[in-house]
Structure 1
């Protein structure tokens, strides 16, 4: 019974959420679009000609935001956006998509082939593992996903490139921040306005790789 009440409450909250309404008006696939927009504005990231890799991209709202920012004259994307997710994703014009598990070498290989030696300006990751509710197991999973994104970024970013990942406050969070600080010259935490107040999600931004 309690579960039913919670889901009703959640649905009510979702329907009345101003970001959900704004996402529908703007044609974004998810309210998460506004989280990325705010971080990009605050950090002054993403310019025409940039190469972006979107990890854990489905349903595609972050790819939509990236595309919007890279649109040049005549509605052509000035730059490149490569998106990747285990789940299928409806096509986004001008976005190259790979469906597969980022943890598998064969999928990473596909991504590397698509990049064809090009270095990346920005890696964005809204990836979140399936959580079990068991604190220690969940924090290990979250850390693993962040480590994968960090490792990929370290191998493919331009020296002055940036990485944005979703993390969660709690056990293991300080270790994630520490691993970022070992690799990047500047590391900041961002909690965009579109993040629900009760949510422990926090976005980490790493800028300029350490030599």
Structure 2
């Protein structure tokens, strides 16, 4: 059993380092941070969630900073990003980073404090649980994180704001998708080229929040 796991790990590492986007990250790690930079770049190119003006953005599951670094180049000189992750993240200009669990009220209160009752234009989440490889365990965990992120929209997202969240393809996703659809005027499913074809990860892109 361990031998099979080792073979799978070696195969994953081999494919990982052959990845076109990984190679681009390695050539300029300070700019891109991770291949997620390219996922957000493609999503924005298609759906135009960033408007190049002074925007405030919440980035959940931000480490090592791929999404935050891309967003920082798109939010205007006076824009700001509030980023959060349970893992540490090196500093990025225009990004206020808090290390902590968004499911914890202490971490959540820090975000509310810095916003001082102001609304944000974008809430985005690249959060994912530790993957066990067992769908019956992984899918409910992913949906749970998705629901927590969506709840923040009710408190923090401005009218006509945008919402971007990573999730996994599954039968359980239908109910969550319908909930997002009821809160936004526009909703799409995205599978960026930088996302591995064999991965079940997809992104829900929702625009024009109705609140």
Number of residues of Structure 1 aligned to a counterpart in Structure 2: 206
* Deviation at residue 171 of structure 1 after TM alignment: 3.4
Please tell me whether residue 52 in structure 1 is matched to residue 57 in structure 2.
yes
In structure 2, what is the Cα distance between the partners aligned to 1:175 and 1:60?
30
Taking the aligned partners of 1:25 and 1:116, their CA distance within structure 2 comes to 39
C-alpha deviation, 1:186, in angstroms: 1.2
Q: Tell me if structure 1 keeps the 8 A contact 2:57–2:120.
A: yes
- Provide the residue aligned with 2:42 in structure 1: 38
**RMSD over aligned Cα, in angstroms?**
1.3
Asked if 1:158 is matched to 2:158, the reply is yes
Contact 1:143 1:176 in 2 (8 A): yes
**Is the contact between residue 79 and residue 94 of structure 2 (CA under 8 Å) also seen in structure 1?**
no
Report the equivalent of 1:11.
13
* 1:89 and 2:94 matched: no
Question: How does the TM-score come out when normalised to structure 1?
Answer: 0.93
Q: 1:154 and 1:208 mapped to 2: Cα distance?
A: 13
State the 1:121 CA deviation. 0.5
Deviates more, 1:21-30 or 1:46-55: 21-30
Q: Deviations over 1:104-156 (max 9, x none)?
A: 11111110001111110111100001233332232211111000111102221
Secondary structure at the counterpart of residue 59 of structure 1:
coil
Deviation at 1:25, TM superposition (A): 2.7
Match of 1:20 in 2: 22
Mapped contact 1:154–1:183 kept (Cα < 8 A)? no
Task: Report how far residue 9 of structure 1 moved.
Answer: 1.1
